[in-house]
Amino acid sequence: MIVNKMGSTDEDYPDYEFEPIFMLGKAMYMPHYDKKHQWVSYGGETKTTVELMTLGAKPEMKHLWKRHWTEKEIFKGRERKCSSEVLKNMLMSQHVSTEPPARGRKK
């Protein structure tokens, strides 16, 4: 059970869950509510998982409103309380298994 600074517990907020986020410098990108592998900053800028990982963004876990796609696409029943390295490996392996092959340039 998680207890925050105000004494509230995770049981007081059943719609909250540990969710992955990306930190790119000081900007935090949270998972989009509906769009799989889309991440949104506070300013409304959207990036994909691949874009953020290519830019060197650091994955972390934060207690946020549930995003149902993260369970289906990333965690798949696995523990959500994990290190940044484990999370990064889950994101990379999920991306590799679902990303369509890049299209080459037509001659």
Asked whether the beta carbons of 30 and 39 are under 8 A apart, the reply is yes
For 68, the domain range is 17-97
Residue 104 lies in a domain: no
The DSSP letter of residue 35 is S
Q: What is the mean pLDDT of the chain?
A: 81
In a domain, 7, yes or no: no
pTM of the model: 0.73
Span 14-51, pLDDT tens digits: 688 899 999 999 999 999 999 999 999 999 999 999 99
What value does the CA radius of gyration of the chain take, rounded to a whole number of Å? 15
1 part of a folded domain: no
Whether 11 is in a domain gets the answer no
Residue 106 lies in a domain: no
- The number of domains in the chain is 1
**Rounded CA gap, 74 and 93, in Å?**
9
